[in-house]
Amino acid sequence: MEKRIRLHDKTFRMFIPNADIEKAIDAVAARLNKDYADSTDEDPVVLLCTLNGAIIYAAELLKRIQFPLVLKACKLSSYDGVSSTGVVKTEVPLPEHLEGKRVLIVEDIVDTGNTIVALMDQLKAHNVRDARVCTLLLKKEVYKKDVKLDYVAMEIPNRFIVGFGLDYDELGRNIKDIFVLDE
C-alpha cells in the first residue's frame, strides 16, 4: 500500500523518497564544490537561504559544501494555501553588505518564477558581483522567466507538494520525503 499523510484537510501520497532527494543533493553539491573552488576566507560565497522552505535543503547542502561561505537568509513569499497569489511580498529583507559579493541563492522550489525574479532584482539593486540560483525543485512546465537557474537538483511536474521543507499552511516541512497532493 502506498504511503499517505494527511495535513489539515488534504491527503498527500508518497512522491519522492528521501534517498532520491539525497542523491540529487549530492550531485548539486559536487557541482557547487567544483564551481566555487576558488572561494577564499577573504572572498567567501554568500549562501542566501530563502526562508522558510529552503532551510532543509540549505542545511543538507551545508553538510556537503567544502568551500568558504557565509550563511545569510531572506524571506519572500507569494503562496497562500496551495496556490501562488502572483504577488511577491518581502517578509525578511536582504541582509546588509552584499555589494561586490558572490551570492548563491538557495531556493526550495521554483515554479512561476515570480519570487526568484523579485529576489534577483533586489540583489542587482545591492550591486552584487554575481548571483546564481540553486533550487531543489523546478516545475519546468510553468517556469517561463528569463532568470537562469544555475543548479537544479530535480525537475517535477506542476503538482502541489509537501515535505523536505515544503509546507501546506505551515505543516509538513519536517517530513523527510516529498509527498504530492492526492487529487
Note the pLDDT of residue 80.
62
Is the pLDDT reported for residue 71 higher than 90? yes
Q: What is the pLDDT of residue 147?
A: 97
Q: Which residue has the higher pLDDT, 85 or 157?
A: 157
Active centre residues (catalytic): 111
**pTM, entire model:** 0.93
Model confidence at 84, pLDDT cuts 50, 70, 90, reads: low
* Structural domain 18-155, CATH architecture: 3-Layer(aba) Sandwich (3.40)
In the predicted structure, residue 82 carries a pLDDT above the cut 90: no
The mean per-residue pLDDT over the stretch 135-159 comes to 97
45-70 pLDDT, tens digit each: 999 999 999 999 999 999 999 999 99
pLDDT tens figures, 98-141: 999 999 999 999 999 999 999 999 999 999 999 999 999 999 99
Domains of the chain: which residue ranges?
18-155
pLDDT of residue 158: 96
pLDDT (0 to 100) of residue 78: 73
pLDDT computed for residue 87 by the predictor:
81
HEC assignment per residue over the chain: CCCEEEECCEEEEEEECHHHHHHHHHHHHHHHHHHCCCCCCCCCEEEEEECCCCHHHHHHHHHHCCCCEEEEEEEEEEEECCEEEEEEEEEECCCCCCCCCEEEEEEEEECCCHHHHHHHHHHHHCCCCEEEEEEEEECCCCCCCCCCCCEEEEECCCCCEEECCECECCECCCCCCEEEECC
The lowest-confidence range among 80-84, 89-93, 112-116 is 80-84
